[in-house]
Amino acid sequence: MFGEIAKATDALVLCGDLTDTGSVQQAERLAEDLRAFPIPVLGVLGNHDYECGKVDEVRSILTQAGVQLLDGNAVEVDGVGFVGVKGFAGGFGRRMLGSFGEPETKEFVSVAVSEAMRLENAMRTVKNERAVVVLHYAPIAETVEGEPLEILPFLGSSRLAETIDRFKVSAVVHGHAHRGRYEGRTPGGAPVYNVAIQIAKPSGKPYALLEV
């Protein structure tokens, strides 16, 4: 599959959950596959990559293999600015969780707000006409539709979309939602793609092909 991708496109973007349970061994297996990859590889970490508490080791292994991890920063590839954060949960639209009540709730919301602010700060550094936002968590409800209603608030946050819509963005890609929809748009009109491996894509492949 990586061989196909290398022939078909100019960059590979990974939208998190680069490991199953965040173990060093799993990161090393992916690193071995990517170490000699002939095109740029960019990505963000996902919630699975934090599970074992080895996220620093996972990040180091993948970075040494040539993966450019986006964590509140931007990278340019062939005139396109790629900017990303992991993002976080919190829900969508008028039902988005607010910072009210117990300290635990406020702490949860503060993480979502912090991720949105880090994304905004990174977007301000992008000078390219074309920009792609890379996330793990979804910025809109549309691309997570199909998931059980009970878990929708844990699949993403509208705070990310609010940030995205302050800028000119060519495309947004995310993962995390396995039963969602492939395509949607932010309230401001930016195209959003759920590229989780389980999502059916127009290419008919496990990966999406996007031209920006």
pLDDT tens digits, residue range 5-47? 999 999 999 999 999 999 999 999 999 999 889 999 999 999 9
Angle of the 24-34 helix axis to the 55-64 helix axis, nearest 10? 10
The confidence score (pLDDT) of residue 7 equals 93
**pTM, full prediction:** 0.97
86 closest CA partner among 75, 72, 98: 72
With beta carbons less than 8 A apart as the criterion, state whether 54 and 26 touch.
no
Q: Where are the alpha helices (DSSP H) in the chain?
A: 2-8, 24-34, 55-64, 103-123, 158-164
- Which of 24, 70, 17, 23 has its CA nearest to residue 48? 17
Residue 194's pLDDT is 98
3-state secondary structure of 193: strand
DSSP 41: E
Q: How high is the pLDDT of residue 81? A: 98
Contact indicator for 27, 18 with CB cutoff of 8 Å: yes
Mean pLDDT (10-residue bins), the chain, 212 residues: 92 98 98 93 98 98 97 96 98 94 96 98 96 98 96 97 98 96 98 96 93 93
Decide which of 2.20.25.570, 3.60.21.10, 3.90.1150.10, 3.40.50.150 is the CATH code for 2-194: 3.60.21.10
